[in-house]
C-alpha cells in the first residue's frame, strides 16, 4: 500500500519575502534598499512595477494571517527587511521596524502558526551598496550586527532561523547577469559576493546560537539538478560541471568541504579571494537545510571544446515562466542530499508555479495546473520520505501573488490571487485544495 500520509510533526507552510510583499517602502523610517533603487530604473521591471504597494503586508499582515488560517498551515516562512530595522545598514536602529516584526510574530503565534524567519532575502540597504555591497567584506560585519539585533529582539519567540535565501541568486542574478539588484555584470565580483555571503552565513549562525540557545538554524539554497541530454561522455562532464557550479558551489563550503574542484578550475582567475580562516568560518554545524526546488536542467555539451553548456527542455511541459515541470527532480535531489550529506532535517522551503491566473465571472480563480504541480511534487516528497529522507516541512511559494522581482506583478505564483488595486486576496482553487491536504496531513 503506498503511503499517502505525512509525518505527524510535518510543517505545512507558505513562503514570502519582505520586499515582495510588504510595500510601505517609505513608511515608519524604513531605509532605501537596493531593490528600491533598482526598480526605480526604467526598463528593469516588467510593467514598471516597484515594491509599492506589493501586497501592502506591512499594514495588511492580519489579512495574510487570515489566509494562512484558511489554508490550514502551521508554519509561515517570511523574511525581515534589513533596511526597515537598520535603515542605513549600520548605525541607528529603527524601533518601528523591529516593532513591526514583533507584531507579526505575535500575531502568528497567537493562532499557532510557527514563524520561520529568513534574515536576508535580497533587500540590502542601499547605503551598504554604495560602499561596495556584498563584494565588500565590511558587509559581512554589518550583516552579523543586524542579525544580532533581530535575534536579540525576536529570539524569545522565533526559534527557526534561516540566514540567507538563495545565495546563487544574490551572486549571479545580482552581479553577473544583472537581472536583479544591484544590476551589475562582473563574474569575478559575483564569485566574491557568493563567498562573502557564505562567510556571513557562518558568522550569523554563531551569533544566533549565542543569543537564542534553543534556536534551530539553517540556510536556504536553490537547487536545480542536472541531467545529461544524451548518454555521452561530453554531456556527462558538462552535467557534472553544472552540478558543481549551481548546486555544490554553495553547499559544499557550508558543510566544510570547500569549493568543488571542477568549478573552481573552470572559473580560472575569477575565483574569489579566500582568507585562511574562511573555510572554517563558513561551516559551523547547522540544524537543517532549506531546499528550494522549481525545476531541473537538461545539460548538453555540443562539443565546442569550451565546455559550453546548453539547457534543453520539453516545451510542452513548462509553467508560465518557461520552467520545465519535473517533479522527479525533487525526489532525486532530496535523496542525493540525504545520501551525500548529513543534514538532520531538510525542509522544502520553496516550491511553486506561476500561471496566467484569471479571476472569472464566478468570482473564483481556477488553476488546475497549479494543483497538479503541487500534487506531483508532494508525491515525490512522500516517496523521498519512504526512502528515509528526513523531510520535515513543505512551504509553497507563495502565499499570495506578489512582486516577483524583474517580472513585477506580472508573474503570479500565489495560492491567493492578489487584486493589486484593491488589495483584495481571493483564494484560488489550489488554495482550497492545499487546505484539504494540510488538514488531512495526507495526499
Where on the chain is the footprint of ligand IFM (CB under 6 A)? 17, 20, 166, 292, 350, 397, 404, 413
Residue 321 beta carbon to ligand IFM: minimum distance, rounded to whole angstroms: 7
The conformation of residue 170, written as its DSSP 8-state character, comes to I
Which CB sits closer to ligand IFM, 264 or 323? 323
Nearest-CB residue for ligand IFM: 17
Which CB sits closer to ligand IFM, 13 or 155? 13
* Angle formed by the axes of helices 138-154 and 95-110, nearest 10°: 50
- Is 404 annotated as catalytic? no
Longest dimension (CA), the chain: 63
Residue 169 beta carbon to ligand IFM: minimum distance, rounded to whole angstroms: 7
Q: Which residues of 167-189 are buried (b: 16+ CB within 10 A; e: fewer)?
A: bbbbbbbbbbebbbbbbbeeebb
- Is 166 annotated as catalytic? yes
* Distant-in-sequence, close-in-space partners of 270: CB < 8 Å, separation ≥ 6: 187, 188, 191
Residue 398 beta carbon to ligand IFM: minimum distance, rounded to whole angstroms: 7
Strand order from edge to edge, sheet including 226-228: 226-228, 297-300, 310-312
Q: Which of 22, 32, 166, 404 is catalytic?
A: 166
Neighbouring-strand partners of residue 292: 222, 350
Which CB sits closer to ligand IFM, 121 or 300? 121
Q: Which of 22, 244, 350, 404 is catalytic?
A: 350
Residue 102 beta carbon to ligand IFM: minimum distance, rounded to whole angstroms: 23
Distance CA 17, CA 197 (A): 18
Residue 38 beta carbon to ligand IFM: minimum distance, rounded to whole angstroms: 14
Helix (H, G, I), strand (E, B) or coil at 163: strand
Which CB sits closer to ligand IFM, 142 or 220? 220
Which CB sits closer to ligand IFM, 17 or 207? 17
Distance CA 64, CA 13 (A): 13
Residue with the three cell numbers 506561476 = 354
Q: How many CB atoms lie within 10 A of CB 78?
A: 26
* Distant-in-sequence, close-in-space partners of 2: CB < 8 Å, separation ≥ 6: 382
Q: Which of 294, 434, 335 is nearest to 375 (CA)?
A: 434
Residue 392 beta carbon to ligand IFM: minimum distance, rounded to whole angstroms: 20
Q: Which of 390, 378, 397 is nearest to 440 (CA)?
A: 378
Neighbouring-strand partners of residue 291: 221, 348
Residue 292 beta carbon to ligand IFM: minimum distance, rounded to whole angstroms: 6
Which CB sits closer to ligand IFM, 169 or 283? 169
Which CB sits closer to ligand IFM, 61 or 397? 397
Q: Which of 253, 252, 161 is nearest to 209 (CA)?
A: 161
Residue with the three cell numbers 532605501 = 32
Which residue numbers are catalytic?
Answer: 166, 350
Amino acid at each position: 500500500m503506498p503511503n499517502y500520509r505525512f509525518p505527524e510533526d510535518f510543517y505545512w507552510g507558505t513562503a514570502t519575502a519582505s520586499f515582495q510583499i510588504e510595500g510601505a517602502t517609505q513608511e515608519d523610517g524604513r531605509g532605501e534598499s537596493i531593490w528600491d533603487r533598482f526598480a526605480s530604473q526604467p526598463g528593469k521591471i516588467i510593467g514598471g512595477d516597484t515594491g509599492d504597494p506589493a501586497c501592502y503586508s506591512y499594514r495588511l499582515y492580519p489579512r495574510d494571517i487570515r489566509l494562512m488560517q484558511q489554508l490550514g498551515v502551521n508554519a509561515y516562512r517570511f523574511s525581515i527587511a534589513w533596511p526597515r530595522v537598520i535603515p542605513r545598514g549600520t548605525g541607528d536602529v529603527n524601533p518601528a521596524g523591529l516593532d513591526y516584526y514583533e507584531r507579526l510574530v505575535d500575531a502568528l503565534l497567537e493562532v499557532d502558526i510557527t514563524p520561520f524567519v529568513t534574515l536576508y532575502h535580497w533587500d540590502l540597504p542601499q547605503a551598504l551598496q554604495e560602499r561596495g555591497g556584498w563584494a565588500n567584506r565590511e558587509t559581512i560585519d554589518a550583516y552579523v550586527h543586524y542579525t544580532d539585533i533581530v535575534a536579540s529582539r525576536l529570539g524569545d519567540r522565533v526559534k527557526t532561523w534561516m540566514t540567507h535565501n538563495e545565495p546563487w541568486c544574490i551572486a549571479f542574478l545580482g552581479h553577473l547577469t544583472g537581472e536583479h539588484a544591484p544590476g551589475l555584470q562582473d563574474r569575478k565580483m559575483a564569485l566574491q559576493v557568493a563567498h562573502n555571503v557564505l562567510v556571513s552565513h557562518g558568522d550569523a549562525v554563531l551569533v544566533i546560537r549565542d543569543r537564542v540557545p534553543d534556536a534551530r538554524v539553517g540556510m536556504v539554497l536553490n537547487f536545480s539538478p542536472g541531467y545529461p541530454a544524451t548518454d555521452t561522455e561530453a554531456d556527462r562532464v558538462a552535467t557534472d560541471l553544472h552540478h558543481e557550479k549551481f548546486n555544490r558551489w554553495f553547499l559544499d563550503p557550508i558543510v566544510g568541504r570547500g569549493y568543488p574542484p571542477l568549478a573552481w578550475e573552470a572559473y580560472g582567475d575569477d575565483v574569489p579571494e579566500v582568507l585562511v580562516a574562511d573555510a572554517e568560518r563558513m561551516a559551523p554545524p547547522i540544524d537543517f537545510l532549506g531546499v528550494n526546488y522549481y525545476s531541473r536542467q537538461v545539460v548538453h555539451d555540443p562539443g565546442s571544446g569550451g565546455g559550453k553548456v546548453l539547457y534543453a527542455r520539453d516545451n510542452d511541459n513548462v509553467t508560465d515562466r518557461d520552467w520545465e515541470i519535473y517533479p522527479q527532480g525533487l525526489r532525486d535531489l532530496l535523496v542525493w542530499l540525504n545520501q551525500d550529506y548529513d543534514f538532520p532535517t531538510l525542509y522544502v522551503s520553496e516550491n511553486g508555479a506561476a500561471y496566467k491566473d484569471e479571476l472569472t465571472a464566478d468570482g473564483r480563480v481556477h488553476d488546475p495546473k497549479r494543483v497538479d504541480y503541487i500534487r506531483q511534487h508532494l508525491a515525490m516528497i512522500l516517496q523521498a520520505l519512504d526512502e528515509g529522507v528526513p523531510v520535515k516541512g513543505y512551504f509553497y511559494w507563495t502565499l499570495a501573488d506578489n512582486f516577483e522581482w524583474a517580472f513585477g506583478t506580472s508573474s503570479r505564483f500565489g495560492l491567493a490571487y492578489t487584486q493589486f488595486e484593491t488589495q483584495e486576496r481571493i483564494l484560488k482553487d489550489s488554495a482550497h485544495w492545499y487546505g484539504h491536504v494540510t488538514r488531512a496531513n495526507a495526499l
